[in-house]
């Protein structure tokens, strides 16, 4: 399984939303600017995330996006499945995958791929948006204000500043 740009960008946008939505809806353009992702691309991702109940939109003045449930309840697995579809390292372990290969019923390696896919899913299900938001806060605090370009996007609401920009 290869995590696509859509999956990586969806996770970045969701972490941004988890950090910033405590004060109300967050605009797509603000997320796009902080994460350096096209606003149109974020709109596509957010449609899929919304269909899975991971975010909700608020219309009108002051509108934007909010998490669909608490950050501690949203896992990386949920985000990736919403934008990428079912997770699987090889086609035969995906839903309906038994039809892909006539040997699937007796294939010894298929059992390995099933176990490996289950391990990957378990790992991704063990990491929440809250975990990543807290990690970002700790990294900003640990660096004493010096930030990598990745952390710089989050510091405005974390009480840190990137005065000592890292190279």
Show me where the domains of the chain are located: 5-157
Encode pLDDT of 3-46 as tens digits: 999 999 999 999 999 998 888 999 999 999 999 999 999 999 99
**pLDDT at position 148, please?**
54
* CATH of 5-157 given 1.10.10.10, 3.40.640.10, 1.10.287.990, 1.20.120.550: 1.10.10.10
Q: pTM for the full model?
A: 0.81
Exposed (0-12), middle (13-18) or buried (19+): which is 159, by Cβ within 10 Å? exposed
What gap in Å lies between CA 88 and CA 100, rounded to an integer?
13
Within 10 Å of residue 47's Cβ, how many Cβ atoms? Answer: 13
pLDDT at 167: 39
């Amino acid at each position: 399984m290869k995590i696509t740009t859509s999956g990586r960008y969806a996770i970045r946008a969701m972490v941004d939303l988890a950090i910033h939505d405590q004060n109300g809806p967050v605009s797509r353009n603000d997320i796009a600017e902080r994460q350096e992702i096209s606003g149109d691309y974020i709109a596509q991702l957010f449609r899929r995330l919304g269909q899975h109940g991971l975010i909700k939109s608020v219309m009108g003045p002051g509108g934007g996006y909010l998490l669909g449930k608490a950050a501690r309840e949203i896992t990386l697995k949920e985000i990736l499945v919403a934008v990428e579809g079912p997770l699987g390292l090889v086609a035969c372990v995906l839903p309906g995958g038994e039809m892909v290969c006539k040997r699937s019923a007796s294939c010894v390696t298929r059992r390995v791929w099933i176990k490996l896919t289950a391990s990957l899913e378990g790992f991704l299900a063990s990491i929440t948006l809250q975990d990543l938001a807290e990690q970002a806060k700790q990294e900003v605090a640990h660096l004493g204000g010096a930030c990598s370009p990745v952390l710089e996007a989050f510091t405005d609401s974390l009480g840190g500043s990137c005065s000592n920009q890292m190279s």
